[in-house]
Amino acid sequence: MSSNDKQIIQINNLNKWYGDFHALNNINLTVNEGEIVVICGPSGSGKSTLIRCINYLEKFQEGEIIVDGTSIADDVKKIRQVRSEVSMVFQHFNLFPHLTILDNLTLAPIWVHQNKKEDATERALALLDRVGIKDQAEKYPNQLSGGQQQRVAIARSLCTSPKIMLFDEPTSALDPEMISEVLDVMVELAKEGMTMVCVTHEMGFAKKVADSMIFMDEGQIIETNKPDEFFKNPESDRLKLFLNQILDK
Amino acid sequence: MKNKANFLSNYLNNNEIRAFLFQAITVVAIFYFFYAAFDNMFDNIAARGISTGYGFLDDESGFNIAESLIEYSSASSNLTVFYVGILNTLLVSFVGIIFASVIGLLIGIARLSSNWLIAKLANGYIELFRNIPILLQIVFWYNILLINSPRSIKDSANVLDLIFINSRGFFMPKPIFEFEFLIVFLFFLAGLVGRFFIKKHYNKLRDETGKSTNTFFHSLLLVVGLPLIVFFLLGSPIQFSYPEVQGFNFAGGMNLSLEFIALALALSIYTATYIAEAVRAGIESVNIGQKEAAYSLGLTKTQSLKMVILPQALRVAIPPIINQYLNLTKNSSLATAIAYPDLVGTFAGTVLNQVGQAIEIIIMTMLVYLAISLFISFVLNVVNAKLSIKGR
Amino acid sequence: MATYELKNKKNPPISEIGVIKWLHENLFSSLFNSILTLFALYLLYLIIPPLADWLYFGAEFGNVTNDQCTREAACWTYIGKKINLYIYGFYPEEHYWRIHLTFALVAVFSFIPRLFKNNPHRFKLIAFLFISYPILAFYLLYGGIGLEVVETHKWGGLTLTIIIAAVGIVASFPIGILMALGRQSKMKVIRFFSVLYIEFIRGVPLITILFMASVVLPLFFSEGIDVDKLLRALIGITLFQAAYIAEVIRGGLQAIPRGQYEAADAMGLSFFQKTSLIILPQALKISIPNIVGSFISLFKDTTLVLIIGLFDMLAIVGLSTSDVNWLGRETEGYVFVAFVLWIILYSMSKYSKNIEKRYNTELDKEKL
């Protein structure tokens, strides 16, 4: 998928500590524009921490992260710049319960990107249609099912026209029968050329759309490979063990 | 024979019949209890020579009340005492509610501060004042004020020649509003209206062009600046009456009794601890994911606070806070202990002692508090209905 | 494509650990925070030294008279002289052992069931102990056959406070349960009276209930029967507390899934069996933190009895400072009473938080 060589995310020698605990150990990673990267690994391996560093929800002590030319630092302008180009979909959706679905979507376009209300509403409704929720626009998040809420969350992330989308275990909190409706939307996005970095356990999804697989354990990147090789010929022992555990089901 | 027995047992085992009988017996028992009690009561009352009925309300009270919001003298009726008491209760409760809210809000936020020292101090405040009974706090502050206040007028503590403190209370300048002040006030109201329309205009502008304008200074100009200008243009239509020594007392100015101050202070400090906890619970109830989602969408800290976090925090915090207002009002009845003339102290205290008709008096007193409770419950329900997050 | 070598974990950079970091993050993380810290330190400087001086450093502990005792700081001698009054009220000194025994028996009676953990008659034993204790306690405190009578108007101080709180807690509980069940009842009359009772009591201040009990209650009884003053207060406090306990338990009842009621009905249990074996145990367990909170409030409310003429700890302050020998020591008295009550109430609230924590982790374990 990624014939374009433009590096849109560069992570160099990233190190992060929680107090004494070394959470991310010398991470080096590049993501090209339009690339789909899937990160997997056992819990506690630092996968979520890593992608949350990309939009500065987590701070890091050593190394650098460059997103579309901007090097992330504790600087309000830079952070705002990065966050306007990077969107995140959370495991627990994090929709704003006191606002309607429509207001959830138009909030950022109006208040962050200075869009006109009419334009924002039009775009929001179009996106809701795209994820299949158009007729729920005036409802409140708690009136929707989990799968519907997550699709709304994806639509909300798309409203700000991001260049990169981060997915933090987007289907882990869903009941099994709702997982596929969310994955279908994500596959659509992948096919349209969105740059995506996903932390997920859904290997079927990964096999279908990933350009690059990354395996993490204990805060380090252990192995990366193209999906075919990754699943068929895992090199490291830890990856072999991990694949045995999850693919056995 | 057998059929009759069956019929009876069927009848008695029928659930509906049983429920009916149970309730009927309860009603009879309750009514009998009250009948017997009241029967004795009327006998006892007659034996003691106490009258019944509400005629006593028209009688002269025959005693003085230290502070009152309305005209009162020892020639006023007992009914007037009732009104004076209610007004004093409402006054001290109102003042207490305001201060408790301010202090509680500050302490609640401080409790969550990232500054270790501030958070610990706020926690210490809460743990200290929550675990001492309110009555003890009331008499304690009253005691502190009493022993530190000079007895004679001459020795009054003097703050900038404006405020004088002695055992009769705090004497301060009292603002007297001249007629022109009404015009200033009208301009203030106009400012509020203007602010409403300005905001509406800029909201519309933002909807149409996307550009948002900060209307803070517009509001400031209209609501504060405009009335202020009018105020000076009209020649500053406020006069102050300053307390000055005249003989053995102060003349002019206004007086806040030590009793009032002690009561308001204690009630504020004590209730603030509960309000602080409610504020803290409200803020903590908002999932951290909400803040993260807001940030990752690009909202600034202020925007996130105003549009995502506070709306949710307030929904959780406001109902218990309103409940605390009710508690404060009920606790104001402890004024009796330090002789502040609230409803209980004057009416259920002095009048009751003089007239002896305890039942009528205590019932009237209870009804007042019940009315206040019902009112606050009503407000609470309205607030809850408006704030509720749909779907939950 | 690539496999990486596993690296060892490193230590975080120096500025991330230690005292400097702590100070920086917690006290001086920003200009605003630094100003706050300095402001807080200034406040402490204003308050702590004078307070410490008054309470301890300048205070008098020795055996002196009131005139010799300092007026600049606390005169704890006064407390020392009056300590018996504060703790025992007017109870005759030679009979203090009866109070001690009464409280010691609580510990003993609580301990006895543990000796019979596997005995089938254990439940009956607990019931027996539970019923016999109040009778025994009353006998010890009041007197009767063989023991000299000590009238209740002599009871006072901390002892009285504890007695009122204990009786209030125990007596209000069953009434509160009945009211809570009544409020849930499908029978309209029962529900009506329960709601009426609960909302009425909760809408008025405790002081009015105490006045009612103190002044009106005696009138309900036939001429000649004199209701003991303490008993009136106990009735008032019990009826008051019952309404609040009822609401707490109602919360617990509402938290029980409908399925529990339905399963009990399906098993053919009677109302009484269903309620006492299935519903109440669960409701009470869920409500434990709030029940403890309610008791803490009750303990605070016992101070109100001073207004109707009983001599709890707070009342003793006023009483003992009108003693000619110890005029003007109210502040010391209030501080002492505040200190004692604070310790008791703070311990109770810490205990409540512990229970809540333990209960929450138990719930979490059940979920797993």
Three state DSSP letters for chain C = CEECCCCCCCCCCHHHCHHHHHHHHHCCCCHHHHHHHHHHHHHHHHHHHHHHHHHHHCCECCCCCCCCCCCCCCEHHHHHHHHHHHHHECCCHHHHHHHHHHHHHHHHHHHHHHHCCCCCCHHHHHHHHHHHHHHHHHHHHHCCCCCCCCCHHHECHHHHHHHHHHHHHHHHHHHHHHHHHHHHCCCHHHHHHHHHHHHHHHHCCHHHHHHHHHHHHHHHCCCCCCCCHHHHHHHHHHHHHHHHHHHHHHHHHHHCCHHHHHHHHHCCCCHHHHHHHHHHHHHHHHHHHHHHHHHHHHHHHHHHHHHHCCCEHHHHHHHHCCCHHHCCCHHHHHHHHHHHHHHHHHHHHHHHHHHHHHHHHHHHHHHC
Q: Which residues contact B49 (CB under 8 A, 6 or more apart)?
A: none
Give me the sheet containing A70-71, strands edge to edge: A21-32, A7-18, A62-67, A70-71
Give chain C positions within 8 Å (CB) of B38. 220
pLDDT given for residue A1 in this prediction: 44
Does C216 touch chain B if contact means CB atoms closer than 8 Å? yes
DSSP H or E stretch at residue B252: none
Residues of chain C contacting A226 with CB distance shorter than 8 Å:
1
Task: Give the pLDDT band (50/70/90) at residue C2.
Answer: low
- This complex has an ipTM of 0.89
| Contact check, Cβ <8 Å, B40/C219 | yes
SS3 of residue A198 by DSSP: strand
Residue B116, chain C, CB below 8 Å: the answer is yes
> Among the listed ranges A2-6, B75-79, C194-198, which one has the minimum average pLDDT value?
A2-6
- Please judge whether B117 and C37 are an interchain contact, meaning their C-beta atoms are less than 8 angstroms apart: yes
- In chain B, residues with a C-beta closer than 8 Å to the C-beta of C202 are 373
Interface of C with A in 192-211 (CB under 8 A): none
**Least confident stretch, B45-54, C234-243, C283-292:** B45-54
Q: Does residue B387 belong to the interface with chain C, where contact is any CB pair within 8 Å?
A: no
Reply yes or no on whether the pLDDT at B174 is more than 90: no
* Closest chain C residue to the Cα of B31, Cα to Cα: C193
Q: Does C11 touch chain A (CB under 8 A)?
A: yes
B·C CB contacts under 8 A: 148
Q: If pLDDT is split at 50, 70 and 90, which confidence band does B216 have?
A: confident
Of A25, A224, A236, the CB nearest to C7: A25
Please report which confidence band the pLDDT of residue C123 belongs to, taking 50, 70 and 90 as the band edges. confident
The answer, yes or no, to whether residue A4 has pLDDT greater than 60, is no
Mean pLDDT of A43-50: 92
> Which chain C residues are within 8 Å of B362, Cβ to Cβ?
208, 211-212, 215-216
- Contact residues on chain C for A224, CB-CB shorter than 8 A: 1-2
Calculate what percentage of chain B has a pLDDT beyond 70.
Answer: 98
CA distances from A62 to A14, A26, B101, C17, C30 (A): 6, 9, 45, 15, 22
Mean pLDDT for chain A overall: 90
Check residue C213 and give its pLDDT.
92
The Cβ-side half-sphere exposure at C129, using a 13 Å CA radius, reads 17
Over residues B113-155, the pLDDT tens digits come to: 888 899 999 999 999 999 999 999 999 999 999 988 888 777 7
| Chain C CB contacts of A26 below 8 Å | 7
Please indicate whether, in this complex, the C-beta atoms of A160 and B297 are within 8 angstroms of each other: yes
Q: What is the per-residue pLDDT for B1?
A: 55
Question: Which contacts qualify for B22-28: CB closer than 8 Å, 24 or more apart?
Answer: B22/C187, B22/C190, B23/C187, B23/C188, B23/C189, B23/C190, B26/C189, B26/C190, B26/C193, B27/C189
Query: Searching chain C, which residue's CA lies closest to the CA of residue B369?
Result: C204
CB A24 within 8 A of CB A50: yes
Asked if pLDDT for residue C277 goes beyond 90, the answer is: no
| pLDDT(B64) > 90 | no
Q: Report the length, in residues, of chain B.
A: 392
- Among A177, A175, A174, A141, smallest CA distance to A156 is for A141
* Cβ-based burial of C217 (10 A; exposed 0-12, middle 13-18, buried ≥19): middle
Average pLDDT, chain B: 89
Question: Mean pLDDT for chain C?
Answer: 87
Q: B288-328: per-residue pLDDT in tens?
A: 999 999 999 989 888 999 999 999 998 999 999 999 999 99
pLDDT at C20: 74
Confidence band of B107 (pLDDT split at 50, 70, 90): very high
Chain C residues with CB-CB distance to A30 below 8 A: none
Q: Tell me which chain C residue has its CA closest to the CA of residue B330.
A: C205
pTM score: 0.87
Query: Rounded to a whole number, what is the distance in Å from the CA of A17 to chain C's nearest CA?
Result: 6
B123 touches chain C (CB under 8 A): no
Neighbours of chain A (3+ CB pairs under 8 A): B, C
CB pair distance less than 8 Å for A224 and C9: no
- Over the stretch C292-332, which tens digit does the pLDDT of each residue have? 999 999 999 999 999 999 999 999 998 888 888 888 888 99
In this prediction, residue B66 carries a pLDDT of 84
In Å, how far is C14's CA from the nearest CA of chain A?
11
Q: Are C6 and A224 a contacting pair at CB < 8 A?
A: no
Contacts of A223 in chain C (CB under 8 A): 2-4
How far C22 CA sits from the closest chain A CA (Å)?
11
Distances (CA, A) of C178 to A241, B103, C114, C213, C250: 60, 39, 29, 21, 10
Residue C367 pLDDT more than 80? Answer: no
Range from A113-117, B132-136, B375-379, C114-118 carrying the lowest mean pLDDT: C114-118
- A157 CB neighbours in chain B (<8 A) are 297
Chain A interface, best mutation among C3, C7, C8, C29, by max A CB count within 10 A:
C3
For the stretch C347-362, pLDDT in tens is 999 988 888 888 776 6
Q: How far apart are CA A106 and CA A126, in angstroms?
A: 12
